């Protein structure tokens, strides 16, 4: 069957000139190719789309050393751009939108290709971490919004040209009761009819068709002077919409909206990248804080065990009661439980992070067994260099992709409104029909009066073509067609509905801009609050260190007890835990602030070109000398 279709395509290609086709260029991973170079000129065969890539990039395995996966912040970002499935799914949006644009350029209706933004993974635990809640989760609160695909008004023209051919072969036998005309009682007629044509519609509302038809007839009657006779015509028929469906702005609105939707899918991909990068950064820094918390819990447990040993010795000497030993043992048990919870948080956080950085999740045994070793530590700068709030708000309004999506959709709504307004007009079409006819054939050997035939018609098929193209027998016609609907309630309702929705869109854009201002100010306040908490935690930790040092000096000179020293150590561990939580809180606030201003990609060195291709050029930052692993 495919061979037969290809043969037909080759025959048509050998007779008709090729129509220009735009080159298909769809970036990785959604490549499209044609199966046959000859068929490619007419697109008679479907295009092939490459399968989805379900394997990880080589970068992930290259970061494993000795059963540990060493990750820096830049490595995490590179891996998420190459392997994260949320970004990979959203990456198909632009190629899909390009195909819808291709469809619109051929005169087809728009199709929806919007894919919702996935919020991304969250940490296993946020205990003690205060996240600034400013309504930001991949742009939530600013309106998600894909492209616009619904429209009303005149149907756009089919812009792909059509070549058609028709053939008919028949044998007719007609019994006759009157022999005067045909001079036979049974008239037989062998007919062959052919018709070829070309049709094209244009954005101006013009439609044109050029048709050539030919009919050959052989009868068993002596009445015709020519037998067999061949008639033919060449017809040019042009229609033009003068009211409804007139003009390029009305008929190309699908194309303009499809181009806007293509930009929208690019912004959707950017939003997904921003959302996922933010989620991954939160996962990474939470893992860093969880690891630090494990070390603090280990130190606290060691302190509790020292207190238990000291209480046992003092109880044996009779210096304290046995109840103090029981209390110390209970504290040791609590410390072990806290340590187990911290270690469990680390293990679960590693699983979540590995799943986000791999296309196959933790299905790979080697990936499931490795431990993640963060190479970066949380560093809170001495001071946050901030621009004035007005500049930050202006930057957010200019950079936030959600706002640009709303602007594009608002523009698309205005484009569609031109078509809806045009649908109110009556249908008025003007037409012109130009036709040239011809007739030819040999003299009828059955006719006694064949010599009376006009010799101008005697000849072969070339004679017929000569008559047609010399326009020996021209026909002309012109006219118009007017259709006026009374009341026209459907079109009026569509127009008012579109205008009301346009007003809604304008207000939604303004609301989104207002929300961005609130987001920026709230995130700035949240960042300042997180810094204040961190500075307070640092001051508390420094005070606890001084207290411990003083208690150790007093114990050294015999004016204090070991119990008081251990209590000071316990207090120091608690302040260290609070400091780690405050540092984690600061990272969350800083990530939320960068997102609210619209500079997440800039701050983290993310290139949208690399994100679109799924390939990051920079090399891994894993050092030659790896740090010691604390477990």
Give the model's pLDDT for residue 45: 64
- The more confident residue out of 527 and 311 is 527
Residue 4 lies in a domain: yes
Q: Average of pLDDT values for 521-549?
A: 94
Instruction: For residue 457, tell me if it sits in a domain.
Output: yes
Closest residue by Cα to residue 286 from 390, 130, 420:
130
Domain assignment present for 593: no
Is the alpha carbon torsion for 110, 111, 116, 117 positive or negative? Answer: negative
- Answer yes or no: is 214 within a domain: yes
As a whole number of angstroms, the distance between CA 629 and CA 68 comes to 9
Average pLDDT over residues 592-615: 93
Angle at 20 between CA 14 and CA 24, to 5 degrees: 115
CA distance 461 to 374: 86
Query: Does residue 32 surpass a pLDDT of 60?
Result: no
Listed residues 465, 483, 501: the one ending a domain = 483
Q: Identify any residues that bridge with 208 across adjacent strands, giving them in sequence order.
A: 200, 238
Last-in-domain residue among 461, 483, 505: 483
Given 466, 483, 500, which residue is the final one in a domain? 483
Q: Assess whether pLDDT exceeds 60 at residue 142.
A: no
Mean pLDDT on 493-522: 95
Phi-psi region of 353 (alpha: psi -120 to 50; beta: other; left: phi over 0): alpha
Largest CA distance in the chain: 151
What are the Cα distances from residue 501, in Å, to 421, 488, 490?
Answer: 14, 20, 16
pLDDT value of position 543: 95
Of 217, 229, 169, the closest CA to residue 194 belongs to 169
Q: Mean per-residue pLDDT for 282-292?
A: 95
Q: How many domains does the chain have?
A: 2
Q: Is residue 332 part of a domain?
A: no
The neighbour count for residue 553, using CB atoms within 10 Å, is 12
Q: What percent of the chain is predicted at pLDDT more than 70?
A: 87
Per the structure, the complete domain to which residue 221 belongs is given by 162-201+206-244+427-483
SS3 of residue 374 by DSSP: strand
Q: What pLDDT, in 10s, does the model give residues 351-382? A: 999 999 999 887 888 888 899 999 999 999 98
Helix (H) or strand (E) holding 204: none
Which tens digits make up the pLDDT trace of 233-273? 999 999 999 999 999 999 999 999 999 999 999 999 999 99
- Predicted local distance difference test score (pLDDT) of residue 10: 42
* Predicted TM-score (pTM) of this structure: 0.84
Examine residue 11 and state whether it is found in any structural domain, yes or no: yes
Q: What is the DSSP string of 149-177?
A: ----SSPPP--S-EEEEEEEEEEEEEE-S
How far, in Å, CA of 517 to CA of 390, rounded?
A: 9
- Extended strands (E) in 132-273: 162-175, 186-201, 206-219, 229-241
Per-chain mean pLDDT for the chain: 85
Which helix H or strand E contains 14, and what residues bound it?
Answer: helix 2-15
Q: Quote the CA–CA distance of 184 and 558 in Å, as a whole number.
A: 144
Q: Is 587 or 617 the better-scoring residue by pLDDT? A: 587
More confident call, 581 vs 134: 581
Residue 115 is predicted with a pLDDT of 84
Mean pLDDT of all residues in 444-468: 80
| 3-class secondary structure, 429 | strand
Whole-angstrom Cα distance, residue 604 to residue 308? 48
Residue 403 included in any domain = no
Evaluate whether residue 168 is within a structural domain: yes
pLDDT (mean) for 570-579: 91
**Could you give the 3-state DSSP secondary structure of residue 148?**
coil
Burial of 153 (0-12, 13-18, 19+ CB in 10 A): buried
């Amino acid at each position: 069957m495919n061979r037969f279709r290809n043969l037909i395509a080759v025959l048509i290609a050998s007779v008709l000139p090729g129509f220009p086709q735009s080159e298909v260029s769809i970036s990785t991973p959604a490549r499209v190719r044609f199966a046959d170079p000859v068929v490619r000129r007419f697109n008679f065969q479907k295009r092939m789309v490459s399968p989805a890539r379900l394997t990880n990039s080589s970068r992930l395995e290259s970061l494993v050393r000795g059963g540990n996966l060493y990750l820096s912040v830049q490595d995490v970002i590179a891996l998420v751009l190459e392997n994260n499935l949320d970004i990979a799914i959203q990456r198909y949006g632009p190629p899909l939108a390009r195909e819808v644009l291709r469809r619109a350029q051929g005169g087809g209706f728009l199709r929806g290709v919007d894919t919702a933004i996935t919020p991304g993974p969250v940490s296993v635990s946020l205990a003690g971490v205060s996240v600034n809640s400013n309504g930001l989760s991949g742009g939530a609160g600013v309106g998600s919004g894909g492209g616009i695909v619904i429209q009303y008004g005149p149907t756009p023209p089919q812009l792909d040209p059509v070549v058609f051919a028709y053939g008919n072969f028949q044998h007719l036998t007609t019994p006759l009761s009157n022999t005067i005309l045909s001079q036979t009682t049974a008239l037989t007629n062998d007919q062959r009819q052919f018709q070829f044509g070309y049709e094209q519609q244009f954005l101006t509302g013009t439609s044109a068709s050029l048709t050539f038809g030919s009919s050959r007839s052989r009868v068993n009657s002596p009445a015709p002077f020519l037998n067999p006779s061949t008639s033919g015509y060449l017809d040019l028929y042009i229609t033009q919409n003068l009211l409804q469906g007139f003009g390029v702005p009305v008929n190309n609105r699908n194309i303009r909206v499809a181009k806007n939707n293509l930009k929208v899918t690019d912004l959707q991909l950017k939003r997904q990248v921003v959302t996922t990068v933010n989620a991954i950064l939160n996962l990474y820094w939470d893992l860093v804080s969880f690891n630090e918390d494990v070390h603090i819990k280990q130190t606290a447990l060691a302190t509790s065990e020292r207190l238990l040993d000291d209480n046992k010795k003092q109880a044996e000497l009779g210096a304290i009661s046995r109840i103090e030993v029981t209390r110390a043992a209970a504290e040791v048990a609590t410390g072990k439980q806290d340590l187990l919870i911290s270690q469990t948080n680390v293990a679960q956080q590693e699983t979540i992070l590995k799943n986000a950085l791999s296309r196959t999740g933790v299905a790979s045994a080697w990936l499931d067994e490795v431990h993640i070793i963060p190479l970066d530590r949380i560093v809170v700068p001495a001071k946050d260099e901030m621009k004035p709030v007005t500049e930050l708000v202006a930057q957010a309004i200019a950079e936030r992709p959600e706002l640009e999506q709303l602007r594009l959709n608002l523009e698309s709504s205005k484009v569609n409104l031109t078509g809806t307004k045009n649908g109110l007009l009556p249908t008025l079409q003007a037409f012109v029909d130009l036709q040239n006819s011809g007739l030819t054939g040999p003299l009828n050997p059955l006719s006694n009066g064949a010599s009376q035939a006009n010799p101008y018609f005697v000849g072969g098929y070339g004679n017929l073509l000569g008559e047609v193209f010399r326009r020996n027998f021209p026909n002309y016609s012109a006219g118009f067609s007017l259709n006026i609907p009374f009341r026209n309630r459907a079109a009026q309702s569509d127009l008012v509905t579109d205008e009301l929705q346009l007003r809604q869109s304008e207000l939604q854009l303004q609301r989104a801009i207002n929300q961005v201002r609130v987001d920026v100010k709230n995130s700035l306040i949240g960042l300042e609050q997180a810094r204040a908490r961190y500075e307070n935690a640092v001051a508390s930790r420094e005070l606890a260190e001084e207290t411990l040092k003083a208690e150790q000096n007093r114990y050294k000179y015999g004016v204090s007890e070991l119990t008081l020293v251990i209590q000071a150590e316990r207090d120091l561990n608690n302040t260290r835990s609070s400091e780690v939580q405050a540092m984690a809180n600061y990272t969350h606030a800083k990530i939320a602030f960068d997102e609210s201003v619209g500079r997440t990609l800039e701050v983290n060195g993310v290139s949208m070109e690399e994100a679109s291709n799924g390939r990051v050029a920079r090399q891994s930052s894993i050092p030659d000398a790896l740090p010691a692993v604390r477990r």
